[in-house]
């Protein structure tokens, strides 16, 4: 993830994760519509939930790396604010 004029450029791997997550959710919806066993539906939804959590963790960790790089490149940058932002993102993702 890189910053380009206040826009984030996400890694293709993150986009692929989101696409797989959509597939898992669509799969769960189809299972529900077809009256599949609740155990199987919950298993599918649990996999989607875990995939979502892992995706958020990847995004937050990449953001933290970018914050550290910014702080190292610009000594006038407010490092405390960058760290606070990263921690807030981490807390939101939980």
Q: Please compute, for residue 94, the number of CA atoms within 13 A of its CA located in the half-sphere on the CB side.
A: 6
Beta strands 7-9 and 2-4 are antiparallel
Q: List the chain pLDDT tens, one digit each, 94 residues.
A: 555 556 777 889 999 999 999 999 999 999 999 999 999 999 999 999 999 999 988 888 887 777 777 777 777 777 777 778 777 877 777 7
pTM for the full predicted model: 0.74
Quick one: CATH architecture of 2-92? Answer: Up-down Bundle (1.20)
Say if residues 58 and 21 touch (Cβ distance below 8 Å).
Answer: no
pLDDT for the residue numbered 2: 55
């Amino acid at each position: 993830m890189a910053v380009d004029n206040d826009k984030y450029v996400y890694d293709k791997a993150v986009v692929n994760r989101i696409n797989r997550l959509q597939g898992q959710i669509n799969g769960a919806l189809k299972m529900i519509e077809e009256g599949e066993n609740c155990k199987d539906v919950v298993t599918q939804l649990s996999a989607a939930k875990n995939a979502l959590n892992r995706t958020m963790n990847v995004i937050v960790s990449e953001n933290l790396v970018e914050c550290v790089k910014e702080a190292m490149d610009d000594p006038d940058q407010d490092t405390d604010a960058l760290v606070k932002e990263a921690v807030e993102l981490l807390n939101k993702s939980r």
